[in-house]
Amino acid sequence: MSDSNRTTRGIGVRRRLARAGAALAVLVGALAGATATSGVAQAAAQGPCDVYAAGGTPCVAAHSTTRALYARYAGPLYQVRRSSDQALRDIGVLSTGGYADAAAQDAFCAGTTCVITVIYDQSGRSNHLTQAPGGGAASGPDNLADAAAAPTTLNGHRAYGVYVAPGTGYRNNHTSGIATGDQPEGMYAILDGTHYNGGCCFDYGNAETSSNDTGNGHMEAIYFGNIKVWGYGTGPGPWVMADLENGLFSGANTGYNANDPTVNHRYLTAMVKGAPNQWAIRAGDARSGGLSTFYSGPRPNASGYNPMHKEGAIILGIGGDNSKGARGTFYEGVMTAGYPSEATENAVQADIVAAGYANSPATAGAVRGTGSGKCLDVPNASATAGTQAQIYTCWGGANQTWTRTADGQLTVNVSGSTLCLDAYGGATADGTKVVTWPCNGGANQQWRFNADGTVTGVPSGRCLDVAGAAVADSTPVQLWSCWGGDNQKWTLG
């Protein structure tokens, strides 16, 4: 053996040992997680993209508005545009490899509203997501997400997700390194498992570069929602499925997969991956535990899905042809080159759990209507379930003191009973009464405080509304389609 051969062989051995050591370090680092001390954001020892790289399936797109996805990433996470003067501001991290600098957004957007204009790609490939153009299913450009509509915390540090209301969408049709044809790839997204609908299609992943439906197998994206037109799983939904174009697949073929359960974790890890005649769905609670495999097997046997014809665009919140009737909330997600192993994905899940996603802390006080100046009030401090809430002159009573809980409820203590603000009967239509009811954890008792001052019901997306835009004492409140009126705007505190 020549000296050069010995040198080459020695380098190969060292490289294999280095890769093995890196993979072990990733697993240990991911399981150990990151910590925050003395209010200072600490960089993670490893991020999810470091885990994927160690597993031989590097990230080729990495999007997050909440944190760095590489331990050494120190660039911008996203960009916001201020409505008052159209000024732009990049929002970065508090420290290298750390959490989003939410305070920078709050200061920049104070006294006005902001939208998210760019979600930067941290992989270095410039696969940034921007406002989606029109497509075959719907004209565009699509709406941009309210920058403050999805508050969250990570290990106690405030951040904001991407709140996708119907009509909102992001896209990149000119990417680098994203799988095309039948090339293997993986992807994950962290989503709000309580924010969804049956519209088409809340997706994140690989789509057509023309914004048009170009046929079966031209997409491979994570879908989340409860539509049943194509595939579906057990229970009422929502389900994690794959949008492969002209079909949402829960398993081997179009239709029912008994192994794809309803999943509605407040923070949800959703994964889809695909390779030649092989694909899988995995998911789990992003705050604890591991991943479950809902499907792993061959491609659907319908024409066009084996081999696949992926085109390599990236979408968020919409379908491949710009179908934009869905809703959801996105916090972070990546796409990889290559088909990740389950061991790698399990280590990524451990990193996600260690990131410490949690709801924003509870706050309390009067809920005051912007249009009327009056307070959300329980009539006569009644503890009777089903009492319709109203507005009334603010006077500081217990029946006007509301607590916004970490789970998104609005609670009030009246006559010794703690009750929740509730969309009566779980209804979602315009005119649904908003009442007080014993707290039961239902989605119809969850409310979102949005940056524009509206308070929306989670299942309906409709606004807490003072009936008829009246300002008189004892005017009832209800659900109504959001239209921007002052009778739909509130402050808490």
Domains parsed from the chain with CATH numbers: 9-358 (2.60.120.200), 363-492 (2.80.10.50)
Query: Two tokens at 385?
Result: 């379930």
pLDDT value for 246:
97
Answer yes or no: 208 catalytic.
Answer: no
Q: Which residue stretches of 33-96 are H helix?
A: 48-54
Question: Among the options 142, 220, 321, 377, which is catalytic?
Answer: 321
pLDDT value for 29:
40
pLDDT in tens, 343-393: 999 999 999 999 999 987 667 788 989 888 899 999 999 999 999 999 999
What are the per-10-residue average pLDDT scores of the chain (493 residues)?
Answer: 35 37 40 35 77 98 98 98 96 98 92 92 98 97 91 93 95 98 98 93 98 98 96 96 97 91 96 98 98 97 96 98 96 98 98 93 81 92 97 91 85 92 96 96 89 87 95 96 93 80
Question: Among the options 245, 311, 332, 422, which is catalytic?
Answer: 245
**Helix, strand or coil, per DSSP, at residue 136:** coil
pLDDT value for 322:
98
Helix, strand counts (H, E) of the chain: 4, 34
pLDDT value for 131:
98
Answer yes or no: 245 catalytic.
Answer: yes
Nearest residue to 281 via CA among 272, 292, 289: 272
CB atoms within 10 A of CB 75: 14
Strand ranges for 92-174 from DSSP E: 114-119, 129-131, 151-154, 157-160, 162-164, 170-172
pLDDT value for 362:
62
pLDDT value for 44:
59
- CA–CA gap between residue 236 and residue 253 (Å, rounded): 19
Q: Which residues contact 264 (CB under 8 A, 6 or more apart)?
A: 193, 194, 238, 443
Nearest residue to 129 via CA among 313, 311, 272, 268: 313
